[in-house]
Amino acid sequence: MNDQEEALAMPQEDEADVAPQQQSFGEWVSSEMTKQGLTIPQLAAKTKISYTGIWNIVKGNTLYPTDETRAKLSAALNQPVPTEVEKEVVEQKSEISGYTWTDFTPSDIGTVPDQAGVYVFYDVTDRPVYVGKSAKSVRTRVKDHQTRFWFKPPLVVRGSFLAIDDPIMCEKIEMILIKFLGKHALLNVQGVVRDMVE
Please give the CATH architecture assigned to the domain spanning 23-93: Orthogonal Bundle (1.10)
User: Backbone phi, then psi, for 128, in 5-degree steps?
Assistant: -70, 130
Q: Which fold has domain 95-198?
A: GIY-YIG endonuclease (3.40.1440)
What is the pTM (predicted TM-score) of this model?
Answer: 0.68
Q: What is the DSSP letter of 80?
A: P
Is residue 97 over pLDDT 70? Answer: no
Of 27-41, 107-121, 126-140, 172-186, least confident by mean pLDDT is 172-186
61 with 103: CB under 8 angstroms?
Answer: yes
Is residue 132 over pLDDT 70? Answer: yes
pLDDT-above-90 percentage for the chain: 55
Q: How much is the pLDDT for 10?
A: 45
**What are 6-48's pLDDT values in tens digits?**
544 544 545 444 445 678 999 999 999 999 999 999 999 999 9
Q: Which of these, 16, 32, 34, 52, lies nearest to 146 by C-alpha position?
A: 52
Q: How much is the pLDDT for 120?
A: 94
* Domain ranges within the chain, ordered by starting residue: 23-93, 95-198
